Amino acid sequence: MCSPQTRQHRQHQQPYQTPNQTHPLGLSSYAVRYAAAAGLDAAGFVAAVAEMGFQRALLCENIKLGDPAAVRRTAEDCGIQVELGIKGLSAPVLFAALDLCPKLGSDYLRVVVDVPAPGVSHPQWIEQTRELIRSALPRLHRDGIHLGIENHFDLTTKELVELVEAIADPAVGLIYDSTNHLGFIEKPEETLDYMLPYLSGVHLKDYIVFRVPGGHRIQGITLGDGLLDVDRIVRKIDEAHPTIPITLELSLLKPEVEQETPALLLAAEAEPIKISLERLLATLGRAGRCCPET
C-alpha cells in the first residue's frame, strides 16, 4: 500500500495522458528484475512505483501478479495507471491477458511477439500474428485497451511496421525499445525513425558496448551514462507524440546486498532508477516540455 504521504501528494495528479499533459512516465517491472525474482509481487511493485514518483506501472511476465483486485486497489490508492505486458503471442495468452486487463484496470497491453511455434515458417508466423490481433480488435475497442507491439528480437523493424500498417487500426501501435534494435544491428535513431509514425509507447534504457574475449558484450547502464543519445531520442519522440507514455526499463547487473530479500534488492535497484528518472525529467525540460509532478 502507498504511504499516507504518497497518497496525499498524488491526490491531485492525473496519471492518464490528456491533451494538456506531457508524457506520463512509467516504470517496467524489468527495472526491478532481481527484487521480482526474489518475491516482490505486483502490488508491492505498484506501491514502489508511486513512491519513486512515476505515474504508470508496467507489469511484465517477470513479476508475480497475485490477486488482480488487490493490485487494482493498490494502483487506485496510489494514483498509478497499470499496464500489462505479455510475451509469446498465441490465442490463449492474448485473450487471457485481455480478460485480465479490466480486472487490473489496465488500459494498455504490451506485447512481445516472440518466436514461432515449431514447424511454423516465419512468413506464416507473421500472417498468424496479424490475424490473431485482428480477431482481438472488438475486445480492444469494447474495453478501451490499446495494444502496443514492442520491437524485440523476433520481427525486424520493417516487419513490425508492415504488421501495424496491415492491421490499420488505432487500437494497435508500436512500442519503441531503445536497446532492442541491437538485435538487428540497427542504430537507435534509425529504428526510431522507422517506427515513429506508429508509436504509442516508449521503453527507454541505456547501454554500453565493450570488448570481451572472442567478441563484444552489450550491457545495460543507468540512463545517461551509456551510448544512447537520450536528448536526441526524447526530442524526436516528444516532437512527434508529445503525450505517449515513456517507460524506464533498466537492464543492470545484479546489485550486491547483505541478504537477497525483496526489500533490500528493491532498495538497491531503486537507486539507479531514481537517477535515471531525474535525468529523464531534465531531458524533457530541455525539450521544452513541462514535466509531470513527482
CB atoms near residue 141 (< 10 Å): 12
Task: Check: CB of residue 59 under 8 Å from CB of residue 43.
Answer: no
- In a 3-state reduction of DSSP, which class is residue 11? coil
Could you tell me where the beta strands, DSSP code E, fall in the chain? 25-28, 56-59, 81-87, 108-112, 146-150, 172-177, 199-204, 206-212, 215-221, 246-248
- Residue 208 C-alpha cell reads as 554500453
Residue identified by cell 535497484 is 269
Query: How is the chain split into domains, by residue range?
Result: 22-286
Distance in angstroms (rounded) separating the CA atoms of residues 184 and 261:
36
Q: pLDDT tens-digit profile of 150-202?
A: 999 889 999 999 999 999 999 999 999 999 887 777 888 999 999 999 999 99
Residue identified by cell 540512463 is 223
CB atoms near residue 166 (< 10 Å): 14
pLDDT-based confidence at residue 287 (cuts at 50, 70, 90): low
Task: Check: CB of residue 61 under 8 Å from CB of residue 87.
Answer: yes
Q: Reply yes or no on whether the pLDDT at 19 is more than 70.
A: no
- For domain 22-286, the CATH class is alpha beta
Distance in angstroms (rounded) separating the CA atoms of residues 172 and 133:
8
How high is the mean pLDDT of the chain? 90
In this prediction, residue 14 carries a pLDDT of: 32
In this prediction, residue 290 carries a pLDDT of: 47
